[in-house]
Amino acid sequence: MSFLKIKDPSKRDKLVAEYVEIKKKIQDDFRSERLGEQSMYEKFGKIFKPITQQQQKSSEDIISKLEPLQEAIENSPALQALPWGSQAESLPEPPLPINIGPTIGTYLIKSYGK
C-alpha cells in the first residue's frame, strides 16, 4: 500500500498512524506470546525444581552404589571363566527334547539364535 498516493494530508497521516499502530500491536502480540511461553517454562521450572533435584540426587546415589558392584562383578574370577563373545559361538548346541511339537521347536530354535 502506498501512502504517498493519498493527496489529503490529514487522511494520509491518519492512515499512517493506523498502520503504525497495527504494526506495533502485531509485534507486541508476538512478543507477549513468546514471553508467555518463556514465563510458562520458568514457572514450571520453579514448580518442579524440587522434584528434579531429588531425582538427580537419587540417581547419583544409585549410580554411586552400583559402580562398585559392577567393578566387583567384572573382576570376579567366576565371570572370567565363563565364555563370552566369540567363544560362546563355538559351544555345542544344547540338545532339544525329542517329544516337542513343531511350534515349540521353532520357538526354541529361534531363542538359541538360529
Question: What pLDDT shows up at residue 1?
Answer: 55
pLDDT at position 83: 57
What is the per-residue burial (b if ≥16 Cβ within 10 Å, else e) of 17-45? eeeeeeeeeeeeeeeeeeeeeeeeeeeee
Q: What is the pLDDT of residue 25?
A: 92
Per-residue DSSP letter, 7: -
Cβ(12)–Cβ(3) below 8 Å: yes
Other Cβ atoms closer than 10 A to 12: 14
Where do the structural domains in the chain lie, given as residue ranges? 9-111
Q: What would the pLDDT profile of 44-75 be if each residue is shown by its tens digit?
A: 888 999 999 999 999 999 999 999 888 888 88
Residue 88 pLDDT greater than 70, yes or no: no
Average pLDDT over residues 23-38: 84
Residue 59 backbone dihedrals phi, psi, to 5 degrees: -60, -45
